[in-house]
Chain A
Amino acid sequence: MTVIDAPPAQVPDELSPQRGRWHRVRPFLPLVALAVLAILPYSTMSLPGIFEGPVNSPGTLQLLAICLIFGGLAAGYDLLFGRTGMLSFGHALYFAAGVYGTDILVTRAGLPLWQAALLTITGGTILAALLGAVALRTVGIAFAMVTLAFAQVGAILVARDFGGLTGGEEGLPLDVSGLPAGLVGVTNTVNLYWLALAYLTLVVFVVHRVSGSPTGRVLAGLRDDERRIGVLGLDPYRYKLVAFTLAGGLASAGGVVYVLIVGGASPHITSSELTLSLLVMVVLGGPGTRWGPVLGGVLYMYLDHRLTAFGTSDAVDNLPAFLSHPLSQPLFVLGTVFILAVYFFPGGLTSLAPRLSHLTRSLRPPR
């Protein structure tokens, strides 16, 4: 079985005296963050350089909503990679099932949104259960390859447009005539933003509850030593299938929200590159931690969008060609940062804070 580095053990609180004042506030920080994010659309603050318009402009809100969705997707993927130690390369499939399922049921079949969403999430979960049941017959790298191949089938099905359902290469714009009025139109972007925030909250809550439950302990055990779980009389296959199905269901729910925000489906979301970027998000943020994957997902999507603007800005254009051309490719920058992250901060962004505090403590003169 492949050895995966466990996240560093939590330092017992009595050993970190500096945290005394923060300690009492800490459990409430997520709620504070949620409240801030929820009232953010009421702010007309303008952050030049970070966002193009004021915070409550539709463009900025849409970008933020996409970031939140991918934060949630990364958190769901972390249930597989960081918490159970399964390296799946096919997670994009369940997300794409959510996106295309909703789109096809609403646009082609004319169902109301709530029915389409319910059917899609159920379908996506069943799909994950079925494919997981086959793929989990293999372990390790072979598992990665089988999930990759399944996701590739999804990509082919979408691209070849069997039965004229998916719109092929051009994608399928969402037919908004049957949707609730509050979710349609530029002025209602704020509702979509709240929907995305609700999705992120749901995923974080579910992942948190699952990893704290007895099942979560078994999953962590599977990550650390699968054979030992087997010796304890628990069936690894069953637990892994539960995690895989749950993660697939969460991803397809994310797809439902995503299709509303973007207003259609395009074939690039079925590509294996999306799964690879999910992996990048989780590793950048910190696998197996509560906030790391969310942070990684939000930051990755933000950079992916903003680096395009940064790449065409004057500051980059004035550089010599051998620098400006690669810097105008977001994936080049992100890929390089990712490689550096694997080498120099393996625990991701969330491991930076404890590391820095160690550094500052050792630099401070002894009392």
Chain B
Amino acid sequence: MGTVILLALTGLGLAALYFLVASGLSLVFGLADVLNFAHGLFLGVGAYGTWWAAGNLPGAGPDGFGFVLAVAFGVAAGTLVAILVELVLIRPLYSRTIEQVLVTVGLSLAGVALLQATWGADARTFPRPDWTRQVTGILGAQVPNGGLLLIVAAVLVLGAILAFLRWTRYGLVIRAGVENREMVTALGIDVRKAFTLVFAIGGAAAALAGALGGVYFGTVSPGQGGSLLIFAFIVVVIGGMGSVIGSAYAAVVVGLVQQFVNYYGTSGLGDICVVGLLAVVLLLRPQGIAGKVATA
């Protein structure tokens, strides 16, 4: 019983990480039709920003309030990069989808190389508060606190994004834009402002994933974003592009399947099961669990 609960909670921790990356991807894709390969870069910037701030920023540190400040700095850095990418690189290519994808591909290659050039290819030890290294006993299972922190953060982010989408004017514009972008434009609303906003939200969530993922794994390396990104893509497709709730459900399913199969089957089998799940979902229900049809 303890093992099952431990696997479920670590699976949910993984799911939380996927959700933080996938929610932004899903919104960006739903609204702007941009498949954002540079999303892993935002995650890397968040992780390295936090790591740098904990060592160098006055007031920030690996513990207590200093750590909160370090994470806040990392998230701010990720958000800033996301906004800059949207304004400088994506916006001039408005509605030319393939070129936008190509630019983000180039950006992901160049950005990761830049991180590698600045801080080296090797993994760095991530500064983390002492309590995240310990475990908490829940129903007989010893669960690492880093995973619990991820789950709490993901639930808060999910709540915040949903509240933002449901009860604010900009949220309304974004929801309407995902539904029918031409119509929103025809009503005289500048959808491109919403693009920037969505990139900022996605960048912030991904940077948070980078910072908390660093706490969870204990290290940070330039290529970390890329490997998470592929599973985040899978989560987005299964969940339905443009749907935050769908991404949340899909992230939970993917995280749990991966964790349980990897434990009870061979290691690596869980990852393959996830891809199998993707194939089944696409064949039976191409639009995903929720959301609009997943075509270009």
Interface residue ranges, A against B (CB under 8 Å): 1-5, 87, 134, 137-142, 144-146, 148-150, 152-153, 156-157, 159-160, 162, 272-273, 276-277, 279-280, 283, 325-326, 328-332, 334-336, 338-339, 342-343, 346
A335 CA to B283 CA, complexed, in Å: 35
Interface residue ranges, B against A (CB under 8 Å): 29, 33, 35, 37, 89, 92-93, 96-99, 101-103, 105-114, 116-118, 226, 230, 233-234, 236-237, 266-268, 271-272, 275, 278-279, 282-283, 286, 294-296
Is B268 a contact partner of A160 (Cβ separation < 8 A)?
yes
Contact of B275 among A3, A152, A325 (CB under 8 A): A152
For residue B110, which residues in chain A have a CB less than 8 angstroms away from its CB? 331-332, 334-336, 338-339
Also in contact, A140 and B296, with CB within 8 A (given A148-B230, A280-B105, A338-B106): yes
Is A4 a contact partner of B113 (Cβ separation < 8 A)?
no
Is B295 a contact partner of A339 (Cβ separation < 8 A)?
no
**Nearest chain A CB to B268 CB, angstrom units:** 4
A335 CA to B296 CA, complexed, in Å: 25
Is A338 a contact partner of B109 (Cβ separation < 8 A)?
yes
Is A153 a contact partner of B272 (Cβ separation < 8 A)?
yes
Chain B's closest residue to A138 (CB) is: B282
18 pairs of residues in contact across A and B, judged by CB atoms under 8 Å: A2-B97, A3-B97, A5-B98, A87-B98, A134-B283, A140-B295, A142-B282, A145-B35, A146-B278, A156-B271, A156-B272, A162-B268, A280-B105, A326-B117, A332-B113, A338-B105, A342-B103, A342-B106
Contact of B113 among A142, A276, A279, A335 (CB under 8 A): A335
**Nearest chain B CB to A346 CB, angstrom units:** 7
Chain A's closest residue to B236 (CB) is: A145
Is A137 a contact partner of B103 (Cβ separation < 8 A)?
no
Query: Ordered nearest first, which 9 A-B pairs have the shortest CB separation?
Result: A140-B296, A335-B110, A160-B268, A335-B109, A332-B113, A331-B113, A329-B113, A338-B106, A339-B106
For residue B282, which residues in chain A have a CB less than 8 angstroms away from its CB? 137-138, 142, 146
Contact of A137 among B29, B106, B283 (CB under 8 A): B283
For residue B226, which residues in chain A have a CB less than 8 angstroms away from its CB? 272-273
For residue A277, which residues in chain B have a CB less than 8 angstroms away from its CB? 109
**Nearest chain B CB to A8 CB, angstrom units:** 16
Also in contact, A329 and B116, with CB within 8 A (given A87-B98, A141-B296): yes
Is A149 a contact partner of B234 (Cβ separation < 8 A)?
yes
Highest count of chain B CB atoms <10 Å: which of A2, A87, A145, A276: A145
Is B105 a contact partner of A276 (Cβ separation < 8 A)?
yes
Also in contact, A332 and B114, with CB within 8 A (given A148-B233, A279-B102): yes
Chain B's closest residue to A277 (CB) is: B109
Contact of B278 among A141, A149, A273, A339 (CB under 8 A): A149
Is A335 a contact partner of B107 (Cβ separation < 8 A)?
yes
For residue B237, which residues in chain A have a CB less than 8 angstroms away from its CB? 142, 145-146
For residue B295, which residues in chain A have a CB less than 8 angstroms away from its CB? 138-142
**Nearest chain B CB to A231 CB, angstrom units:** 18
Is A145 a contact partner of B233 (Cβ separation < 8 A)?
yes
Is A141 a contact partner of B294 (Cβ separation < 8 A)?
yes
Chain B's closest residue to A335 (CB) is: B110
Query: 11 more A-B contacts (CB under 8 A) besides A145-B234, A152-B230?
Result: A3-B96, A134-B279, A145-B233, A149-B230, A153-B275, A157-B268, A276-B37, A280-B106, A336-B106, A338-B105, A342-B93
**Nearest chain A CB to B94 CB, angstrom units:** 13
Highest count of chain A CB atoms <10 Å: which of B93, B107, B268: B268
A277 CA to B275 CA, complexed, in Å: 23
Is A2 a contact partner of B98 (Cβ separation < 8 A)?
yes
A237 CA to B294 CA, complexed, in Å: 18
A326 CA to B114 CA, complexed, in Å: 6
Is A331 a contact partner of B109 (Cβ separation < 8 A)?
yes
**Nearest chain B CB to A55 CB, angstrom units:** 30
A329 CA to B226 CA, complexed, in Å: 17
Is B117 a contact partner of A328 (Cβ separation < 8 A)?
yes
Also in contact, A142 and B286, with CB within 8 A (given A2-B97, A160-B268, A332-B113): yes
A47 CA to B87 CA, complexed, in Å: 44
Also in contact, A329 and B296, with CB within 8 A (given A335-B107, A338-B102, A339-B107): no
Chain B's closest residue to A330 (CB) is: B113
**Nearest chain B CB to A301 CB, angstrom units:** 15
A152 CA to B270 CA, complexed, in Å: 13
